[in-house]
Amino acid sequence: MANPGSAELFDTKVEVHDRKQFELKLEYQPSGTDPKSEYLVDTIFFIPRSLNIDAETWSRDQFYADLHNYVRLKTPVLSFDEILTGSHSPLVQLEQRLPLGLMGPVSEVVYDAKMLACVARGALRRFSRGMKKECAHLLRGAETEKCAPAESPAHLMELARKSINASQEILRRFRSTSAQLAEKYELGEKAQAALRLVDEYLSLTVEQFFRRIVVQMESMPRSGVYVELRRELMDVVITDESYRRAKKWPSVLAAEGDNEEYSHRLGFLKKFCMNILFLKVQRSSKRKAWEEVLFAIAAGGSMAFALGVGLFAQSRYPQASFNFFMLAVVGYMFKDRMKEALRRILAAYMGKFLYERTTVIVDPVTQDDVGVCREKLDYGDNVQVPPEIAKLRAQDDLVTVAQSELSETVIRYRKRIALDSEMLPRIADGIVSGVTDIIRLNIDRLLHDMDDPEYALDYVDLEDFSVGKLQMAKSYRVDVAFRFAVDDGRHQRTTVRLVRFVLDRNGIKRMTDLVPETVLTESAPAHVTVPPGRPAPVTQ
């Protein structure tokens, strides 16, 4: 369990999602010590000028269209024992409906089943990580002692067998309860289909993680207890695969073929079960309303100028004279240009303070507001790079020159989130402790003006002076700096991080961590008392 004043209140993760997208995963986990918890995400892109990126070629509308945002509740953290026996366990709540009745609409039965799939997946993921950690620990110990890993790894065996028994018990009880509910009550075809899909996803999830563990044990000895453990883990995989085959579900891996149906079904079932965690977002643009007010002021100022010129001309010259005509025309010309100039000046000035998009995060079940998110995008001269970010990049001559003699395009994306800390404990029976914010940015626009990813270079052999060709790879470097800040009552924390994306025309080749996440400032109490009824922050 994490200390409420620790870094787990705001957890960040940056990774490559695929060749065209990178993903920023943010986990907000308020401590509950303050009614409002605020988070600031500052992302600054340093893009080579040769890629032809600016406010015109990658406009605000295009940037936001390439930015995909998913906001969901943090998956509740329940251990296998808590899933099997805890009062807040969705499995236990499903079983209580048998003697007590449905106790609500049929949709609540489906909700509990989906929540069970979510928490079971989380428990299996932690089990997989625990097994990987134990295997790595045994290998490190064996390497230090210059001997084979322990012949009887008690902790590893205990962890594996306990998790095997627990996962099988969860599947057995869920299938039994689902069958009895369908037999005892009129659930309807849609609800019964949903329970079958949850059953299939639970089976696939168990198979997926147990197979992953066997793969992680590749470096372990292929003898003795390790062979026995692999066999026990694979027995679970084979059992669940046989179960789905008996049900005539197409989600069975084939040794030959592309397994397209398996992949599609796994992806669909994951989205189907986890959609209960996703929050509804309602976007608006308050900046546009303020801009209309500013444009009206600009129009009024230019009209006042034109009217002043007209009154001056009327007082000096007869209305039918040529001089009056010329002054009126010149006044109108200046009025038109002044209007546009004032619009640009006021928009640029107010753009420093106004956020472009406002998103209200709403619980789709209760329709209560969970929080508010504001976003802002700045280009070029409007971007003021914080000193701490500029310092991160002063690491080699190439970067130093790029920031001075060679021009770069600088884009700054800011996101400010304010969460209602008192609302989260009232969601999903109090087992939800935070919000997960997933941001994916499609970088396809950066690739348009790139050269071919490969070219040939002439090569001369030094021995016989024969001429050949060497293959050369053409790539581009885009640095992305992050500044993360959290203000959670008595806990404030600011961190920075610098990553580099190496791109070619085909997309992202790799991501390099130039500067790992580093704490700039932190202020946290030694002990925080969590209010009654508020789940303490935990880590997965």
Q: Summarize pLDDT for 106-162 with one digit per residue, the tens.
A: 888 999 999 999 999 999 999 999 888 888 888 877 677 666 566 667 888 888 899
Average pLDDT over residues 353-360: 79
Strand order in the sheet with 67-73: 10-18, 21-28, 435-442, 67-73
- Separation in Å, CA 525 to CA 204, 430, 433, 490, 529: 43, 25, 20, 7, 10
Task: Indicate the range of 30-39, 215-224, 282-291, 324-333 predicted with least confidence.
Answer: 282-291
Burial of 301 (0-12, 13-18, 19+ CB in 10 A): middle
Name the residue type at position 202.
Answer: L
Residue % of the chain over a pLDDT of 90: 36
Q: What is the pLDDT of residue 122?
A: 93
> Would the CA dihedral through 242, 244, 250, 251 be positive or negative?
negative
**With the CA atoms of 147, 152, 155 and 156 taken in that order, what torsion angle do they form, in degrees rounded to the nearest 10?**
80
Strand partners, 36: 420
Contacts 24+ apart (CB under 8 A), 186-191: 187/106, 187/109, 188/106, 191/106, 191/107, 191/109, 191/110
The rounded distance, in Å, linking the Cα atoms of 373 and 420 is 12
Q: What is the pLDDT of residue 496?
A: 92
Average pLDDT over residues 446-465: 82
Q: What is the pLDDT of residue 336?
A: 66
Task: State whether residue 275 is helix, strand or coil.
Answer: helix
| pLDDT band at residue 532 using 50, 70 and 90 as cut-offs | very low
The neighbour count for residue 186, using CB atoms within 10 Å, is 9
pLDDT at 398 over 90: no
Name the residue type at position 310.
Answer: G
User: Residue 308 is encoded by which pair of tokens?
Assistant: 């002043």
What stretch of H or E contains 402? Answer: helix 397-402
Name the residue type at position 184.
Answer: K
Q: What is the pLDDT of residue 5?
A: 35
C-beta separation of 505 from 452 below 8 A: yes
DSSP state at residue 426:
G
Residue % of the chain over a pLDDT of 70: 81
Task: Indicate the range of 75-79, 365-369, 390-394, 465-469 predicted with least confidence.
Answer: 365-369
Q: What is the pLDDT of residue 527?
A: 45
| pLDDT band at residue 403 using 50, 70 and 90 as cut-offs | low
Average pLDDT over residues 501-528: 83
Q: What is the pLDDT of residue 180?
A: 92
The rounded distance, in Å, linking the Cα atoms of 109 and 119 is 16
Name the residue type at position 391.
Answer: K
The rounded distance, in Å, linking the Cα atoms of 441 and 445 is 11
| pLDDT band at residue 19 using 50, 70 and 90 as cut-offs | very high
Average pLDDT over residues 224-251: 91
Cα within 13 Å of Cα(139), Cβ side: 13
Cα within 13 Å of Cα(474), Cβ side: 12
DSSP state at residue 137:
H
Q: What is the pLDDT of residue 446?
A: 93
Average pLDDT over residues 79-89: 92
The rounded distance, in Å, linking the Cα atoms of 472 and 100 is 71
| pLDDT band at residue 172 using 50, 70 and 90 as cut-offs | very high
Q: What's the mean per-residue pLDDT of the chain?
A: 82
| pLDDT band at residue 273 using 50, 70 and 90 as cut-offs | very high
pLDDT at 290 over 70: no
Task: Indicate the range of 92-96, 101-105, 252-256 predicted with least confidence.
Answer: 101-105
Place of tokens 């026996």: 85
Strand partners, 488: 491
Place of tokens 């009056």: 324
pLDDT at 327 over 80: no
Q: Which residue has the higher pLDDT, 153 or 344?
A: 153
Helix 90-100, helix 154-184: angle, nearest 10: 30
Average pLDDT over residues 321-328: 71
pLDDT at 199 over 90: yes
Strand partners, 471: 456
Task: Indicate the range of 198-212, 409-423, 426-440 predicted with least confidence.
Answer: 426-440
Query: Strands 357-362 and 467-473: what pairing?
Result: unpaired
